[in-house]
Structure 1
Amino acid sequence: MTVLIIHDPQTQGGSSPAPAPLLSGSLRARAAGTDWPATMLDRPEALTRMRSRHSEASDHMSVPRQGSRWVLDWLGEHPGATWQERWLATGVEAAGRPWRQIPLAWLRSLGRESRWNEEQFFRSLHIVFGADLIRPSLAWLSVAAFGAGSLGRTMAAMRDPDGFAELRARCSADPKIAQAALTRNLYRAAALVSAKGGTINDVTPGDVLEMLDAEADARGTNVGSTGLFYRLLQEMGSFGPDAPATLRHLRVAGQKTPEELIDQYQLSSRHIRDLLVAYLKERQPTLDYRSLTSIAYHLAGLFWAEVERHHPGIDSLVLPTGVAGAWKRRLRTITRTVTGPDGRKRNIEVERVNYRECLTPVRALYLDLAQWALEDPARWAHWVAPCPIGREEIDRRKSTRHRKSRMDARTRERLPVLPVLVESVNRHRKDAAALLESANHAAPGTMFTAAGQTLMRLAPSRSAAAKIWAVDPDTGQRRDLGHEEEHAFWAFAAVEVLRATGIRVEELTELSHHSLVQYRLPTSGELVPLLQIAPSKTDTERLLVVSPELADVLSLIIRRVQNPESGAVPLVEAYDQHERIWRPAAPVLFQRSVVGEQRAINPGLIRDLLTEALEQSGLTDPVTGEPLHFTPHDFRRLFITDAVLSGLPPHIAQIIAGHRDINVTMGYKAVYPTEAVDAHLAFLARRRSLRPSDEYRRPTDEEWKEFLGHFEKRKVASGTCGRAFGTPCIHEHACIRCPMLWPDPAQHGRLLEIRDNLLARIAEAEREGWLGEIEGLQVSLAGAEDKLAQAHRRRTGQPPVSLGLPSIKKS
């Protein structure tokens, strides 16, 4: 039996640390010096320092004496008062990756071209670094292609034996740290000590950021284990108590000032730039940060930067009609990259869905300036200009109806297949768990079978001991079973919680152990578990009843994330992507371990997990044939639609969903054809009950014969009369002229005879001068031509075109 834990055990850890401070003082990167004592030594003193440092640190390593003299000879041939200045004068750092060709050319010029001499020279270069005679830059060390082991051993032996030993011991003690990560981080520590001087204990957070940025620039991407490197140095006490807790605290962007928000769009007009900054500052006190950034994007990015791009030199809000019209035309479309059937990508222009929403902030700017000019003319009056956007242009009633239609269609497509998705993620979770369990009990190199799959367990030498690798013998594909199981579980958890609660994805990631509360019913005394949703979009807190199914899921999540020894859910800090701030540490339920560090799962990962789950389910879009796409907000619409269809009163659904307006709730609810049919039948029943009962009595035999006789009399020579029951012939039986005649295709010949006869009679009337007769005959001729055309279409018309019906592809 699954038990939902409502009581929160004694959580471990203390209060959350303060938000990440700015890099200042001891936190900022150390500057690269040029005149420290060791670099100013003369040649004999430098040789002595190199040999003494090396011999003291490592008795078992031979000192390349000849190579040491060659390095100093090479440096001595370049200008400079210190060894560091001579090093920079060699040009190796500016040369980048092919830097080795510079000293190799020098060796060849002296006739010392041999593999042994080259090896001696480059080994001695490490010793020069270890003796602190020169300090190469981090950017150069990132491309120098030194062996991670050789530089690390040299710096560990000559500079900081205890620090490197502790770093190695901490990595080796953690089974989640792979051998490759250990080697990489030892090299990073060696590079920092080489470039900045001192020991590992002297490294600052700014040094680490500079090091990682240099790596990313050199390789074109971020290298792995960056967070691990920062955490290891933090645990060793290198940074001090004021340093941010994790590397992410330094990496993620905090809130920007209005000046920074506008300046990122690089506006040419200083005049308009200052206006937009002043406008943001004026509105900032009443807006959250996300709204502030949205206004900055619309005004500076979509509006003025776009105007400047096509009209250089413009410097006034007074826009000519042509300029404003051209900007609005460009705003109506956006460029998207699509992949064709042949796999090639191409750019296409598509309509911007939120076109009117983009116009609204610009119109608000003009109208706000006009209003503020009345209140404070000295400050705002000179900015006032005619608004280029009319009121009718931002009328969103039609676009709102279109959006409602699109969302309803999207909901109707996804609600029927929701059970398939739920079954798929649950099955995939169980299969992934079974594979991981079987692999744990299998020896490396042996085969194991679980969930209908046969794999072979691997033990890569560079992988962490905690990783479980397997290979498919049929395809040769390597699989990280732990990674697969983790993604399968959190996809299952996200789908189940979202569909059972209808909460927003931000609210999902903020759920914590403290969100589970109890309520005792005053009537029966029964304890009801409730889920407390923290204030988010509408700043309104609400409570949801925890169903038994949801209780099972929450219990699985808690058991997965809680500490096995204390039973406490670890405290983690989560980053609010909208407000750009770190939330206080809390026992959030959606958290996972990343290289030994507990991290909150962010909304971006939730979306990626849903995409993976949809691909595995086999569900496809009925139009494009591509894998069906679900967003977290789709589950919110599905929840509200299903709840109202199941009989939940809309005003209760509004409270559960956390909407301020019931119209918003009903906007989320999709309308189904069955609802329209049922409502129409109910309307007819109500109208029938209000009409006289004698209108619905059984007809008499005479009335029924009269009714049937009417339809028998509708058959005429050229077709069928379509007049209503009980109505007389309005054309006095001139059927050819009557629009109620439905011509029979079999009477096409008769209609031709009638037409030819009419033509002959018109010719006779013209010949005899019967002008009054001609007018009536021409009316009849037009009727005959029309009936001939109708008969021809019915006789030779194409068969109806089948538009087809959408169908659900079975997985």
Structure 2
Amino acid sequence: MTAVVKHATRKPLEITNATAEQARARNSRLREQFPPRTAERWWSQTAQSSEETLRHLTAPPFLPAANGTRAGRRRGVTKLLHWLSSQPGDTWQQRWMATGAEGLCGAAWVELPQRWLSERGPSPSHDREDLTSGLLMLICGDVIRPALPWMLTRTHRYLASVMAEVRDPDGFARLHQLAAAGPASSRKDAQIAATRIATLLACKGGRIGDITVGDCVELVDNQRRVHARGGQKKVDFYLRLRAMGIFPEDAPATIRAFGLALGQLSIEELVDRYPIQSQPVRDVIVDYLRERQPSLDFASLDAISRTLAGLFWARIEALSPGIDSLRLPPAVALAWKDDLKVKKRAVVGSDGKSVEVTSPRLNAKDELMRVRAFYLDIAQWAAEEPARWGPWAVPCPISDDEIHKAKERKRRKARMDQRTRERLPVLPILVSTTDRRRREAAGLLQAAGDTEPGALIPGTGGALRRAIAPKAAGHLIWAEEISSGRRRNLTYEEEEAFWAFATIEVLRLTGVRNEELLELTHHSVTQYRLPSTGEVVPLLQIAPSKTDTERLLLVSPGLADVLSAIISRLRGLSGAVPLVAAYDVREKVWNPPMPLLFQRGIGSEHRAFTPTAIRKLLINALAATGLTNADGEALSFSPHDFRRIFVTDAIMNGLPPHIAQVICGHKNIDTTIGYKAVYPVETIEAHRAFIARRRASRPSEEYRIPTEEEWDAFLAHFEKRKVSIGTCARAFGSPCIHEHACVRCSLLRPDPAQRARLAEIRDNLIARIAEAEREGWLGEVEGLQISLAGAEEKLRQLDRGHGQHTAVDLGIPTTRGDR
């Protein structure tokens, strides 16, 4: 029912979509590099006579095995040729265009020849079916080539199969072999892709090997224009053609590079986004940005252009029409500064009317700093090039006092500290809930996969049953709620739960930025061999991002578990992580294909996660926890919150700030100290106290080669760590703070083999507590309860760690030269 509604709501061909026109203008250089084939006006098949065309289309390979089908196609071709012969033109293509049939969507074109034939004689009841079969023969026989927009409004049940028989048997055979080598769940996608490819042959002529990258781009542009359905299936055909090797090597890895991403704009295009009336001022802004372009990345260049052209000069012209000088009248400058302090946006009220709402602009001083830099740079350049910049060197309307940000920095620090204080205590809840959600989703998907369609899913208490979805993609498993009848995509739920878990774990265990998370690849997992012991240490290589500084992070056991789960999930049949071409949303460029760790399959294409997708994962994960803030609203986490929590937690647990600075990749230690949710004085004092304690505990005379007696004492200390229920992890030379009450000590690492002994100790403590309460020995109850709590915690620690530390081969990747 849904598909019928979507099909019925398509807009007529003459109504164009503005976004389609914008898409054609995007990535003009790439489109110029890969143009589509131009429509031919003449070719041999369309210039044949009526007798030659009929003879050609009723001879092999146009003869189907079924007699009824063969007769119907012959009748249809005869009637269509008779109808087209009445139209003006020298070729069948010209006559077809003269009919105006392509002005009618879908199957409505049949009414034109049917009406013409009925006026000239009796109309059999099967005229409509014959005409449709006849048109299929004319198209597959390359007699006529309809336009792409019109072809996309029609259904083509037999187009691919007939094209495979009469036009390009070898090409479609290779396409079929490619589909057979893929998973069985993608067979339906392969059929749709074959129809898209056959549509290109119908409209452009030739064979599959003649299809160009530009032809595919033109098809996708027209799909957007006529709202053709299919989702990812709209572009799946491009991936299959590229896999067949018919495109050049420099063809983009995905067709989305031609329209779904804006690409880098030139400086003129960045400035001309805003209606600047004064051409001289517009030109000086362009020249200024061009001067600064070599030292800026595209994101910074984009931000400065928005400030100078949009927030600054476009608003100055609105306040003072006709102004053409950077020397601003004091009244105009003051009005602009007041206007800059607030943001205005239109919202729809409860009555349906649009209302303008204002809010403070938090980065107003940042915008002022960019404008002030604009004036000061021009003044400095005027001394070096007076002829070029001298006419524009005027007093800056923004004083130095107006851009002081000490108070704003304190307020921002207070806001960020408050966010960290709210989120740090509840992080364990988020982590445990996300892990439980992942396990439950995986178990439900496994149970549903083992259940026959229509049967109840075990373990759901009769609340869910395996849904019967014959039109769903083969790799998806659907369930239906018994009470409400609502359908649930269990495959999607499991995928979302897993990636939410992986995102949260990697962010909290590494403290990386969001863009660094999305740039992690299989090659990021590396190793280092300690020269002293020869031990191999796993490391995670963080690619340069914000500070253009590469760094290495130590992979903890927990992080290793998460990375191994990600890599195991992504590995295909070949054992390699798929290569994905990702779009950099900041730099507006496509990166080369890389084995990204954060990628997912959409249809038959692997796509990299985007920042928006990461935010959605966090929102859904937090919704499952039910956590709220002090105002009772749903608590939100941004990817950067995990970075601040990581720094705060590390420094609070004794990590020196300068080490945290290196781990986080900060250029300035003040940035690292600012991330910790405490006052800077407290951090500095804590750091100094740490250094003083280290100097006191490690006097200079100890930094020498130890004697044999000292080394034997050191080794003997570790031999004394072994106790009946595990191993003591206290530092060398430190006394036991619990007076050898090991079951209470947090430094005890219980041995899984001694779980039975721990359970026996717990049961004995319970019995002793009961005896003490019964006999009135209240002095012993409190101490026994502390010991009982310690024993139960050790048992829970063993249960949590059970099965989570199995060795997994991460598959250290090799360079291309080593393969």
TM-score when scaled to structure 1? Answer: 0.73
AA aligned opposite 2:138: V
1:103 and 1:383 map into 2 onto residues whose CA distance is 70
AA aligned opposite 2:385: D
Deviation at 1:349, TM superposition (A): 2.6
1:439 touches 1:468 (CA, 8 Å); kept in 2?
A: yes
- Corresponding position of 2:142: 132
- Corresponding position of 1:694: none
Judged with a 3 Å threshold, the aligned counterparts in structure 2 of structure 1 residues 57 and 379 are, in CA distance, closer, same or farther, namely farther
Q: 1:378-527 to 2 correspondence within 5 Å?
A: 378-450=387-459, 454-520=463-529, 526-527=535-536
Q: What are the superposed Cα offsets for residues 454-485 of structure 1, whole Å, 9 maximum, x if unpaired?
A: 42223522233322222222222222222221
1:148 touches 1:184 (CA, 8 Å); kept in 2?
A: no
Judged with a 3 Å threshold, the aligned counterparts in structure 2 of structure 1 residues 593 and 341 are, in CA distance, closer, same or farther, namely same
Q: Quick one: which of 120, 126, 129 aligns to 1:116?
A: 126
Q: 1:782-793 to 2 correspondence within 5 Å?
A: none
Deviation at 1:395, TM superposition (A): 2.7
Deviation at 1:268, TM superposition (A): 4.7
Deviation at 1:115, TM superposition (A): 5.0
Q: What are the superposed Cα offsets for residues 154-176 of structure 1, whole Å, 9 maximum, x if unpaired?
A: 43343223333443453355336
1:325 and 1:93 map into 2 onto residues whose CA distance is 60
Question: Unpaired segments of 5 or more residues in structure 1?
Answer: 1-19, 683-811
Deviation at 1:140, TM superposition (A): 1.7
Deviation at 1:57, TM superposition (A): 6.6
User: Which 10-residue stretch deviates more, 635-644 or 147-156?
Assistant: 147-156
1:176 touches 1:596 (CA, 8 Å); kept in 2?
A: no
Judged with a 3 Å threshold, the aligned counterparts in structure 2 of structure 1 residues 442 and 270 are, in CA distance, closer, same or farther, namely same
Q: 1:345-356 to 2 correspondence within 5 Å?
A: 348-356=357-365
Q: Quick one: which of 535, 556, 578 aligns to 2:565?
A: 556
2:327 and 2:354 map into 1 onto residues whose CA distance is 40
2:320 and 2:335 map into 1 onto residues whose CA distance is 10
Q: 1:61-460 to 2 correspondence within 5 Å?
A: 61-62=69-70, 63-96=72-105, 102-103=112-113, 105-107=115-117, 109-110=119-120, 116-143=126-153, 146-175=154-183, 177-178=185-186, 180-219=188-227, 223-251=231-259, 252-265=261-274, 267-307=276-316, 314-336=323-345, 348-450=357-459, 454-460=463-469
Count residues with an aligned counterpart: 656
1:387 and 1:573 map into 2 onto residues whose CA distance is 45
2:661 touches 2:672 (CA, 8 Å); kept in 1?
A: yes
2:615 and 2:258 map into 1 onto residues whose CA distance is 25
User: Which 10-residue stretch deviates more, 132-141 or 66-75?
Assistant: 66-75
Deviation at 1:495, TM superposition (A): 0.5
AA aligned opposite 2:239: R
Judged with a 3 Å threshold, the aligned counterparts in structure 2 of structure 1 residues 496 and 23 are, in CA distance, closer, same or farther, namely closer
2:344 touches 2:356 (CA, 8 Å); kept in 1?
A: yes
User: Which 10-residue stretch deviates more, 442-451 or 164-173?
Assistant: 164-173
1:71 and 1:633 map into 2 onto residues whose CA distance is 66
- Corresponding position of 1:48: 55
2:200 touches 2:211 (CA, 8 Å); kept in 1?
A: yes
- Corresponding position of 1:29: 36
AA aligned opposite 1:192: L
2:642 and 2:449 map into 1 onto residues whose CA distance is 35
Deviation at 1:611, TM superposition (A): 1.4
1:51 and 1:273 map into 2 onto residues whose CA distance is 67
2:308 and 2:611 map into 1 onto residues whose CA distance is 27
Larger Rg: 1
Deviation at 1:585, TM superposition (A): 4.3
Q: 1:593-604 to 2 correspondence within 5 Å?
A: 593-604=601-612
Other structure's SS at 1:543 match: strand
Q: Percent identity?
A: 48
1:440 and 1:430 map into 2 onto residues whose CA distance is 15
Other structure's SS at 2:126 match: helix
Matching of residue 667 in structure 1 with residue 674 in structure 2: yes
Deviation at 1:595, TM superposition (A): 3.1
User: Which 10-residue stretch deviates more, 246-255 or 520-529?
Assistant: 520-529
2:353 and 2:277 map into 1 onto residues whose CA distance is 37
1:180 touches 1:463 (CA, 8 Å); kept in 2?
A: no
1:96 and 1:305 map into 2 onto residues whose CA distance is 45
Deviation at 1:109, TM superposition (A): 4.6
User: Which 10-residue stretch deviates more, 532-541 or 416-425?
Assistant: 532-541
1:179 touches 1:462 (CA, 8 Å); kept in 2?
A: no
1:325 and 1:49 map into 2 onto residues whose CA distance is 81
- Corresponding position of 2:541: 532
User: Which 10-residue stretch deviates more, 180-189 or 91-100?
Assistant: 91-100
Deviation at 1:579, TM superposition (A): 2.7
Deviation at 1:348, TM superposition (A): 2.9
TM-score when scaled to structure 2? Answer: 0.72
Deviation at 1:361, TM superposition (A): 2.2
- Corresponding position of 1:652: 659
2:581 and 2:435 map into 1 onto residues whose CA distance is 29
AA aligned opposite 1:579: E
- Corresponding position of 1:793: none
Judged with a 3 Å threshold, the aligned counterparts in structure 2 of structure 1 residues 362 and 514 are, in CA distance, closer, same or farther, namely same
1:434 touches 1:450 (CA, 8 Å); kept in 2?
A: no
Deviation at 1:241, TM superposition (A): 3.4
1:201 touches 1:237 (CA, 8 Å); kept in 2?
A: no
Deviation at 1:571, TM superposition (A): 4.2
AA aligned opposite 1:415: L
1:228 touches 1:595 (CA, 8 Å); kept in 2?
A: yes
2:317 and 2:148 map into 1 onto residues whose CA distance is 40
AA aligned opposite 1:84: Q
Tell me: higher relative CO, structure 1 or 2? Use CA pairs within 8 A at least 6 residues apart. Answer: 1
AA aligned opposite 1:134: I
Deviation at 1:134, TM superposition (A): 2.1
2:352 and 2:321 map into 1 onto residues whose CA distance is 38
AA aligned opposite 2:79: W
Deviation at 1:369, TM superposition (A): 1.8
Judged with a 3 Å threshold, the aligned counterparts in structure 2 of structure 1 residues 569 and 214 are, in CA distance, closer, same or farther, namely closer
2:116 and 2:334 map into 1 onto residues whose CA distance is 67
Judged with a 3 Å threshold, the aligned counterparts in structure 2 of structure 1 residues 44 and 518 are, in CA distance, closer, same or farther, namely closer
Deviation at 1:486, TM superposition (A): 1.6
Deviation at 1:520, TM superposition (A): 5.0
2:369 and 2:32 map into 1 onto residues whose CA distance is 45
1:204 touches 1:239 (CA, 8 Å); kept in 2?
A: yes
Question: Unpaired segments of 5 or more residues in structure 2?
Answer: 1-26, 690-819
Judged with a 3 Å threshold, the aligned counterparts in structure 2 of structure 1 residues 520 and 157 are, in CA distance, closer, same or farther, namely closer
1:114 and 1:313 map into 2 onto residues whose CA distance is 74
Judged with a 3 Å threshold, the aligned counterparts in structure 2 of structure 1 residues 342 and 608 are, in CA distance, closer, same or farther, namely farther
2:311 and 2:425 map into 1 onto residues whose CA distance is 39
Q: What are the superposed Cα offsets for residues 688-730 of structure 1, whole Å, 9 maximum, x if unpaired?
A: xxxxxxxxxxxxxxxxxxxxxxxxxxxxxxxxxxxxxxxxxxx
Other structure's SS at 2:357 match: strand
Deviation at 1:318, TM superposition (A): 4.0
User: Which 10-residue stretch deviates more, 427-436 or 449-458?
Assistant: 449-458
Deviation at 1:243, TM superposition (A): 2.4
Other structure's SS at 2:90 match: coil
Judged with a 3 Å threshold, the aligned counterparts in structure 2 of structure 1 residues 375 and 672 are, in CA distance, closer, same or farther, namely closer
Deviation at 1:613, TM superposition (A): 0.8
Deviation at 1:609, TM superposition (A): 1.1
2:681 and 2:400 map into 1 onto residues whose CA distance is 38
AA aligned opposite 2:495: E
